[in-house]
Amino acid sequence: MAFLVSGCGGSRSNSKVDLSGMGPSMNAKRYANLEKIAAKDLKCAEELTPAYLGENQYQMSGCNDEFIYELRCRMGQCSWVPDVRARAEFDLECAKARLKASHLDPVTVGVSGCGKRASYRAIGSTYGVIWTLSSPVTEDVAPAAASTDEEGPAPSDTSRGTPVPTI
């Protein structure tokens, strides 16, 4: 019974992971929970490779895929926020690996990739956060190319309404 209460149960082992380089909020119990969540998300039974990205963000890799998770704590209660790119992959019709996420504020993230962009808002509590689309999906506008076409219309002098000769 004490084994289950401690939160250390499960089939995965993190004895090979050095938690000292994984940020100030990481401990064995939190890592075990992260590893369990990532194994499910990645659909991966192999050993996962963690990487601390800073600011309580962690990348978990395995089975030729990766997810990014954020550890959020409030009043001693912590939870793992899932990778917003997993949701954006569907909405933006773009592979997760091609998406880039940027924090806009503590609960809003902008995601861009494949010529599209959208913002997402974290909804939920400490015990479960999901991402919901909070803006329309928009197409990125390409900057207007400078016209170098010699046969195009000549620029006009708007003060007199007459063409200005090109040199």
Q: What predicted TM-score, i.e. pTM, was given to this entire model? A: 0.70
DSSP 105-155: ETTEEEEEETTEEEEEEEEEETTEEEEEE-S--EEPPPPPPPP--TTSPPP
**Mean confidence (pLDDT) of the chain:** 80
- φ and ψ of 24, to 5 deg: -70, -20
Phi and psi at residue 90, to the nearest 5°: -70, -50
- Tell me: pLDDT of 113 over 50: yes
> The tokens of 101 are what?
């996420």
**pLDDT grade for 15, boundaries at 50, 70 and 90:** low
